[in-house]
Copies of this chain bind each other. A is one copy, B any other.
Amino acid sequence: MDYLKIFSPATVANVSCGFDSLGFAVDAVGDEMTFTKTAEKGVRILQITGAELTYNVDENAASAVVKKMLNEANANFGVALTIHKGFSPGSGLGSSAASAAGAAFGANQLLGAMYSKLELTKFAMFGEQVACGTAIADNVAAAIYGGFVLVRSYQPLDIIKLPVPKKLRVVAIHPQIQIKTKDARAVLPTKIPLKNAVIQWANLGGLVSGLYTENYQLISNSLVDVVAEPARKRLIPFFDAVQNAARKAGALGAGISGSGPTIFALCKGDKIAEVVHKSIEESYSNKGIDFEMFISKVNQIGIKIIKST
């Protein structure tokens, strides 16, 4: 393969009770990237559209990942990259993760698919390190594996792919405000009451069980976050109003996507998703804050190849 164009999905990390360990990918929103083999070694970024990001090869999450992979594989070729961002950095939908995971996937194709998904996740985590300062895995793993993923362990890295109930839909609203991941981390307590931890992991166990059994009621009951949401929601204007609007309109639950400001809602089926979309939209209108929204299926397959030669 000498050229490929891919779609790398946006991802929702944390998913209420799964703080720092659960994530899923969406179908409707993501980046498009192209990778072209070049005789000249090294990595070049030809074009970035859709967002303003650095062209510095060592500071851009995508190119840094490709460079590292070509080096480690001792490749006798280079790669020219284009990146089209389909959604904004700083949205809480895994923007740097989509770039980093997409880069790992694309470079791997040009290298003859020599790396496993777990290895690609590790390379993509390096991209997260470059972009955000921490090598978190939940977004990149969700983009690479598709569906729901559980980051069971970092040392050693262990990614568990969980099943996706067929009727599960995502509605998301991205208020056009900026929350730095650093600030969203800073509001979190370093210690939490044991009794809240028990509530959180009992719900995570319930959510995992609900995904395996396609028990939407159990999924709904389990979409509770007593750890990160209480601390972080004050960074997101009108969070409670959106969450209430979503629940009242029939959503299974709603919470903060990643570190925000995007708020996601999970729904059973297209019809309810549309009602929830409308209800959230109304709840945020006339609040003086611009916003974008989307409805999506949960992405089942992760990054996909659109075109290759």
Could you list which residues of chain A lie within 8 angstroms of chain B, going by C-beta atoms?
17-22, 150-153, 158, 160, 162, 188-194, 197-209, 212, 218, 221-222, 227
| Contact A221 B158, CB 8 Å, known A21-B205, A203-B152 | yes
Question: What's the nearest-Cβ distance from chain B to residue A244, in Å?
Answer: 20
Provide the bound-state CA to CA distance between A34 and B190, in Å: 51
| Contact A190 B201, CB 8 Å, known A160-B206, A206-B150, A209-B160 | no
- Are A21 and B201 touching (Cβ within 8 A)? yes
19 interchain pairs, CB-CB under 8 A:
A18-B201, A19-B201, A21-B198, A21-B202, A150-B205, A150-B209, A151-B202, A160-B205, A160-B206, A189-B194, A190-B193, A191-B191, A191-B192, A191-B193, A205-B208, A208-B209, A208-B212, A209-B212, A212-B212
Oligomer: number of copies: 2
Question: What's the nearest-Cβ distance from chain B to residue A235, in Å?
Answer: 17
Provide the bound-state CA to CA distance between A218 and B158, in Å: 9
Question: What's the nearest-Cβ distance from chain B to residue A117, in Å?
Answer: 16
Nearest B residue to A163 by beta-carbon distance? B212
Q: 4 closest Cβ contacts across the A-B interface?
A: A201-B201, A152-B206, A21-B202, A197-B197
In the complex, chain B residues whose CB is within 8 Å of the CB of A227: 194, 197
Question: What's the nearest-Cβ distance from chain B to residue A166, in Å?
Answer: 17
In the complex, chain B residues whose CB is within 8 Å of the CB of A18: 201, 205
Nearest B residue to A17 by beta-carbon distance? B201
Question: What's the nearest-Cβ distance from chain B to residue A185, in Å?
Answer: 10
Question: What's the nearest-Cβ distance from chain B to residue A188, in Å?
Answer: 6
Provide the bound-state CA to CA distance between A194 and B21, in Å: 12
Provide the bound-state CA to CA distance between A192 and B196, in Å: 10
Provide the bound-state CA to CA distance between A22 and B18, in Å: 17
Task: Give 11 new A-B contacts, CB below 8 A, not counting A152-B206, A208-B212.
Answer: A17-B201, A21-B202, A150-B205, A191-B191, A191-B193, A191-B194, A192-B192, A197-B227, A201-B201, A204-B204, A208-B209
In the complex, chain B residues whose CB is within 8 Å of the CB of A22: 205
Question: What's the nearest-Cβ distance from chain B to residue A7, in Å?
Answer: 27
Provide the bound-state CA to CA distance between A22 and B203, in Å: 12
Question: What's the nearest-Cβ distance from chain B to residue A239, in Å?
Answer: 20
Provide the bound-state CA to CA distance between A113 and B153, in Å: 45
| Contact A205 B203, CB 8 Å, known A192-B197, A198-B20, A227-B197 | no
Chain B CB count within 10 A is highest, among A202, A203, A218, for A202
Interface residue from B150, B197, B199, B218 paired with A200 (Cβ < 8 Å): B197
In the complex, chain B residues whose CB is within 8 Å of the CB of A222: 152
In the complex, chain B residues whose CB is within 8 Å of the CB of A192: 191-192, 194, 197
